[in-house]
Structure 1
């Protein structure tokens, strides 16, 4: 395009600018806004550089041309209506979109006024032109951002409410459906009517939490209570709450998950679970156990990682108070005393000190553990590193003004959620919050850059088919009212169990799948630990009730007979029987205690080849049997501990001790599978009937010996599987084969996006 508009070839002769305008020419030349003067024929007689720059011309290329030379048909109509008012001596302000030199529209606000000479005759007009391009772009961006976050909150699977000034300020449709009211009915409720939705037995607890929040005292962020639905039915819920700013005022956001089905199922098991409640009350990131003096006596892997330690020895015996920043130690001592007297504290924040001396913020809950007599025994602390959450809170506060109130309320509800939240479309992740990124060990940017195939790689291979069946559009498209558990694979190779809720939504104009992830890893581990503890307790009870009791009866009977014996040889024979019974008791106790520390010993990568070969050499040197070995897997590395050799030795000795044949033979094979290594140990003994195989690892049935039960416990800890079959298929009399499947260690992910 040339320097002059294409609509005219010869410029119209301009008019002189009025004396008043000329007097202030230096001022208008330096204005940040555009400024222009036209004569009574609407021909430019003056434009400042700011206005000409807006349209991409030089000032000289605009002077002498009509206003309409720079406007399209629609904007020309707007101009003419305001020019008419100008001729009547009336000023006005209106919007115009000018056509630039490149043909693009330039949105402006024009403030025009008439030029009148000393005889009150109209000589033209002048105007200040404000460029609205940046404002329009910001307005459009804000609208798009608001729409994105509105989708996350308005169409979730779980209830979302915002409580402000003791009333519901916001509820989504999912919550309204849960309690059986419409959204409008809930928003119109008074404070008293809103509290009427809560079960009377739970109201005092929630009122206490509300009072604590107003006074700035620590309150739980995760808790359970009951609603009374419109039809009178009970609704059991789990709530996750956090303080937010909503429409410029302090408010409480609550994510509500319907737990009615789970509550009804768990009610049947609650009696036995109460014995182990302290183990599964919380879902921790890190756990420490301290004695009553506050010295650390146990720390899990997450605690070591959080404190920057490589081994448990770096923490064991250390005073926990020394790991708290000096400024928070007085509060920590007070909370320790409170835990001792009240039994527990929840969600207390401290600054702690890592092993390298750096400080970081944590959220901690603690409970008092008691022994069988009800006396205080130790403290269990559950800690969560909240550095990222603190950073996110700070970032959110900084960006509040730029985002605007409407967009901010939806961003807040999504980004501050304590649960993982994703939106998946055909291209991969369209959205993920920081809670999900933390759950899988990636940065948010890395997740958003993943393809759909890479996103599926985050799911454990054994759970992919289950998830595809239950997702909207799958075989079981019923996820509006149900949930299920799967495993996620973190970037570092660690497994995380999650309960997920999935729904079909429309996100930024395209179909997508929205999923909420609740981390249940620690609850799963606690349940497994409880089962292991119960198995050990049953084993000890069984040993005392059967094996040791039998030997004590032998001792008692022999002692009674020895008193009545008159000959020394007879007395000596009874004394030998007593010695053997005492030795048998000692061996049983020793064997039972061999795995006493099984669950607390950390695991590391060990060579299954070396362990099996060493056990075979040791046992073959002291028993009479032929060992036939075949190791097709040459470098079998597994996650194990110091009990690996005990596991293999128990099975080897079982193959020899229970074989009455003179020509005892043992076959040991180590084979490689796609995701595991399999060690099999077979013998040519009398074998095990099918009826006995079914309960050989069941301690309540006592078909297997102590060594086999210990082998089962060790295998379970390694995440493996132990089975028993006939050495010759279909003929149990030809001997027995035990097979142990060890999973391969999971390597750290090499995904870069």
Structure 2
């Protein structure tokens, strides 16, 4: 108590928050009573929360057992709360009488933890122990965990310093030694002087600066003799000001005279220090003679720089970070109409640009000062008289001490260049007008094939926007089958002689459709002759190709019609010539068949003769029908009804042959003028052919019939899943007598008749097929009302 009561009394008087943790044999009430004897109105401190006196069970073991982390955090929280209340820190104590032997290890670790962190907080702690309850090891633990241990033996108090504290004291002594050593060995000259100017200490650097060998030798030289006359006068002024209590800068420059007579320039810094327990002045001396010489050389260099830039035919300038001019060469002043007096008065760079450009100038100044490189920037500059001219400005930051201090740059009058650019721009506009108005597609790509430019005709041709096409490679617009052709043309023509002949290929539109084009291409080289890209002029020749195809189709039709006419005339003659003897053959065969006395084997031969003669007669009838080419008897016909009637005629046969028939007939199909019986003959022939082919190929099949209006035509399509038609036969199947079947299984006249009937109606018939994937026959008839 005789230690703790004064301890807490001092804490309360020093505006600290106090916490007294008690245990047997000292109770809380006993602690309060002892405090009341020493502190006036201790209850007031308790009421306002500046002191708490608690039993150990309310602090150390409030959770039922001792938890070192929880207790330490509790102290930290109390210290934080004290500071928030405006108190200066936490003063605490706690005894260890409550500890049992099993708890000593944990408590020892706790105290070591407190000792490591207590220096981080506004916290002061005294821990009390009973020697009667502590063994020798416990005492050693206590001493090692605390900076000081106070023991009472034989009625006397004794302080024991911990090993850690001793190390700290030794470290402090060593630090002091290091401090003195740093002064002695510092490259800066250091003096310690009294307020009256008495020299108390000087390191070796001071002696070296002044050229003396000892402190005594230096001190013996009169102050006036150590300065140049000008510097001594300044020294006296500073001295008088200090006597009068006036402000004197702590940092200034002096010029001294060394022992050998050489003048040196020093930068001096003076400040108060505690020296041997008293306030004295530390004066640092930095020899800046070489820096002064460098500054003089720099000044001379700047003069030369100014003389040089004054001869330049461009404006050279320097401005500070606010934009005010620091320097402008003669050309700059003459060009702007300003004078050096204008600069001296604070001429700002913004005044040299038209108002519309000033925000941009200000923003670009900020960006350059921030370290961004802008390169040349164009503005409209304004002279003092208000006249303007186009200018190109280059600027770089001026850096001092690692920080931007302004801008240095060059201004070029680009009036002549602007005129040349305007002429070039007009030329380019004329070119661009031709480029954009061309009906042919024009495009340019680099040597890697990346498309860089294209006119609207080219974009419309392919269905892309400019942004989309610039993401493409030229070959992405070309079907793969043309790659080798393109490579050959580039290598053999474009690269070799600089251009290609006109050639044809195909392009792929954005929607995936392929169309034919005709194009010619030219190689573009840079000023060094290096190839940089290829121009191409492209024309969509879809219509041209269609006209060619239509012409070929008409020529084919004319050829077929001519052949059909010739064959028809021949067929009529042949039919008449065959009919006469054929009639006799059939007549006599029938007569012989009626006789009863003919042997069986001969009768069988007669039956064959009659059967084959009938087949020949059927062929003759077809030849005559083919040869007649009579005009159709036209009237308004419902094509859907004609198809349905024809399918009904074959319904039984189709069903028995396992052929599934599906129809997709357009209910809004218009009527047209046609010969219904002739069209039925066409449809029936196509159905019979499909039925036969599917039966022969699979013994079953699927047959789809569709009608639709396509522009001014009615389209009827018959689609089967039979064996299909070889590509080389697609153009021949409508020729008379052409058949793919075995001898005796077809005459080759059916589709020829169909072709003639459809052609007579002004329509067309054609087939689409791939071998092994079925066939589709299409009949297109014009809508005639």
TM superposition score normalised by structure 2: 0.32
The structure carrying a bigger helix percent of its residues is 2
Question: Is the radius of gyration larger for structure 1 or structure 2?
Answer: 2
**Greater RCO, 1 or 2 (C-alpha within 8 Å, sep 6+):** 1
TM superposition score normalised by structure 1: 0.33
